[in-house]
Amino acid sequence: MKLLIPFSYYFPEQCAGLYIVDDVMHQAAKNGISSLMYAPTPTRNVPKDATWVKDETSEDGMIHIHRFSMYGEGKNPLLRALRYCFCEVAYLHAMLWKKYDVAFIDSTPPIQGLKLPIVRLFRRKPVVLDLQDIFPDSLAGTGLAKRDGLLWKIGRVVENITYRNADRIIVISDDFKKNIMAKGVPEEKIVVVYNWVDEKAVVPVAKEDNLLYDELGINRDKFSVVYAGNFGHAQNIDVTIAAAERLNSVENIQFLMFGTGGLVDDYKKIAQKKGLKNMFFFPLQPVDKVSQVYSLGNLGVVACKKGLGKGAFPSKTWSIMSAGTPVIANYDEDTDLERLVKDNGLGVFSAADDSEQMAQRIMDMYNNRELCAEYGRNARQYILDNVSKVKSTQKYVDVIKEVVEENRKKKSEQ
């Protein structure tokens, strides 16, 4: 059995969610399924000392990464949109001409689904959609599209085409499942698989053993609130900055901000303008330093703009917890994340956009270090008990096997 994966980014690029497709490919290889990934040449957040080749194989040839030439993203929205379109042409070519049994596509960029009717017409190959983001809902939540506006309506058309032509849709939360079922997707087409973390790779690191303190000049003695990830619209960095401003006079609380993205310079300027002496910005660290980054924190931030919570579930939540760090969530209420944090004692929760409540929750933990440490231990144990890398990736592989078998039966009955 052969799996074809058209994908927007791959290592050595540093992007959230890359581990998902990589882990799935390796688990598929253990099940005797080979993978062929089509990806553009690395241009986004590539470490200076990184090396790569156009074609590479691993797992005794079971995994093949083919990189086609493509210019870098940059910040120009038009060039970025054209880049996505050029990549889609390359992906469509692969899906029409390469030998494979099933295709596995990601939800980013959302235009990925537009090629599926063509593929279905000419190849009749099954497709598994990995739904990590729900468009256009996320666009509306970030203010980039108005509900019922032109962009929203176009997004809904693209969304419907994608869902209709996917044989199976893997979603990352029950909120996602409810969302797309309300849009007419049959329940039997949907499989819920929460994202995971490699609990053996992301582990708690004791303060005295954490080299990042000395490398980055971070004070070991202060109570640290850590954010790591993209600095974009959806992540609502503004609310973390506002909470930091409210706590600026508390000498022993510091906010450590790790990341990249189009708005990082803007946020640095905002923090500087507000005179925040408690907020420090650092570059996004390599994947092998995730344990060290989140172990810096007494709390790890998971935030979203109001209205986005039911259309997203940040996978960083699992990395924070795996490092034994409790979560400080600033998120939509009545969501899977709120229930997860509150029901299992994994940290503290505040309503999306409420910086005053977020600051108060941080102070609660600052004033009760024993409870904060207990939440951290609970978080690590929850990962060990519930979010196993092997079990979760096997669920993906089982879905892939299932759709291939269903497709074979359809062909034999025709």
Rounded CA Rg of the chain: 22
Q: Are residues 224 and 356 in the same domain?
A: yes
From 133, 179, 183, select the one nearest 157 (Cα to Cα): 183
Q: Are residues 35 and 63 in the same domain?
A: yes
Q: What are phi and psi of 215, to 5 degrees?
A: -60, -40
Q: Are residues 397 and 376 in the same domain?
A: no
Tell me, what's the pLDDT at 90? 97
- Determine the Cα angle at 183 with ends 178 and 185, to 5°: 80
Tell me, what's the pLDDT at 140? 67
Are 148 and 190 contacting, i.e. CB atoms less than 8 angstroms apart?
no
Tell me, what's the pLDDT at 205? 98
Tell me, what's the pLDDT at 142? 61
Q: Are residues 361 and 219 in the same domain?
A: yes
What three-state secondary structure class fits 249? coil
Count of all residues that appear for the chain in the document: 414
Helices (H), ranges, 66-191: 77-97, 116-122, 137-141, 150-165, 174-181
Query: Is there a domain that residue 95 lies in?
Result: yes
Q: What is the mean pLDDT of each run of 10 residues along the chain (414 residues)?
A: 96 85 97 97 88 96 97 85 94 97 93 94 95 82 73 91 97 93 97 92 96 97 96 88 98 95 90 97 92 98 86 87 98 94 98 97 98 98 90 95 94 81
Tell me, what's the pLDDT at 163? 97
- Measured between alpha carbons, how far is 359 from 355 in angstroms, rounded to an integer? 6
The tally of CA atoms less than 13 A away on the side-chain side of residue 365 is: 30
Tell me, what's the pLDDT at 141? 62
The number of domains in the chain is 2
Instruction: Write the CATH number for 328.
Output: 3.40.50.2000
Q: Are residues 405 and 377 in the same domain?
A: no
Q: Are residues 25 and 145 in the same domain?
A: yes
Q: Please, what is the angle between helix 18-30 and helix 389-413, to 10°? A: 70
Q: Are residues 101 and 27 in the same domain?
A: yes
pTM: predicted TM-score of the whole model, two decimal places: 0.80
Q: What are phi and psi of 282, to 5 degrees?
A: -135, 155
Q: Are residues 149 and 243 in the same domain?
A: no
* Cis peptide bond N-terminal to 110, omega within 30: no
Q: Are residues 228 and 165 in the same domain?
A: no
Q: Are residues 173 and 219 in the same domain?
A: no
Query: Is there a domain that residue 290 lies in?
Result: yes
Query: Is there a domain that residue 201 lies in?
Result: no
- Which domain covers residue 46, as residue numbers? 2-196+388-413
Instruction: Count CB atoms within 10 A of the CB of residue 31.
Output: 14
Query: Is there a domain that residue 397 lies in?
Result: yes
Query: Is there a domain that residue 202 lies in?
Result: no
Q: Are residues 164 and 187 in the same domain?
A: yes
Residue 361 DSSP code: H
Q: Are residues 62 and 118 in the same domain?
A: yes
Are 242 and 303 contacting, i.e. CB atoms less than 8 angstroms apart?
no
